[in-house]
Amino acid sequence: MGKQEKIVSMFNDISGKYDIANRVISMGIDKSWRNKACKLAFDFYNQKTVEKIVDVACGTGDMITFWQKVAKENNIQLQNIIGVDPSVGMMDVAKKKLPEVEFIEAGAASMPLENSSADIISISYGIRNVVQRQEAFHEFARVLKQNGLVVISEFTKNEKNSPIDYLTDFYINKILPTLGGIITKNKEAYTYLPNSIDEFLTTTNLCKELKEAGLEPIYTKAFSMNISTLIIARKI
């Protein structure tokens, strides 16, 4: 089993408890991160009608519900939203929550979607699980319309410059795996999370990779003691 298959199988295992684990671990604050990502993306895109949003690594459909809610609150007509994920277990949970949404089983690096068909592509806390990351960014560029947006929320690797950075590090490495393990009964999955952040890129390198794929970062900001970073890039 390759690295990508292992990751998918791990998410299949924890799919039933994934939503509750996320809420507890982030102390509910991930809701405000997701809300902010959607709101800012709509502001940057500045269109009252959005034809298609593709949520990649959609998991249990959490981010899709935020896109729908924020669009409604801002009187934006969202015509179509599609969830893409290689984990069938996670999408089974999503389908129960969102029976009206189309879900496609696929990885980020090869999506069965037409060229220049999406206004916005989002990936929330999923890009670090994509083994072929550079291929995925090129795929996003292919599927996006001209001036379309990529919206990435992720736990990025921090340079430890302040006491708060060390505190964040302690929470992610020591407390989070224990909490996640207790809730999902799969500690391995939540030990994987800090390890995957540690092996992951800094925001600077991530922006460089986006640029190489023809996606120009227009907004980057770290939230909540630098735990979560939001990057919005435009297809140029």
Binding residues for S-adenosyl-L-methionine: 60, 85, 124
Q: How far apart are CA 116 and CA 203, in angstroms?
A: 26
E-strand stretches of 57-124: 77-85, 102-105, 118-124
Q: How far apart are CA 37 and CA 20, in angstroms?
A: 21
Q: How far apart are CA 152 and CA 126, in angstroms?
A: 9
E-strand stretches of the chain: 49-56, 77-85, 102-105, 118-124, 144-154, 215-223, 228-235
Rg (alpha carbons) of the chain, rounded to whole number: 17
Q: How far apart are CA 164 and CA 150, in angstroms?
A: 29
Pseudo-torsion of CA 44, 159, 34, 137, nearest 10°? 60
Burial class (CB in 10 A: 0-12, 13-18, 19+), 185: exposed
Q: How far apart are CA 47 and CA 131, in angstroms?
A: 33
- In the annotated binding site, the residues are 60, 85, 124
SS3 84: strand
Task: Give the pair of three-digit tokens for residue 53.
Answer: 């949003």
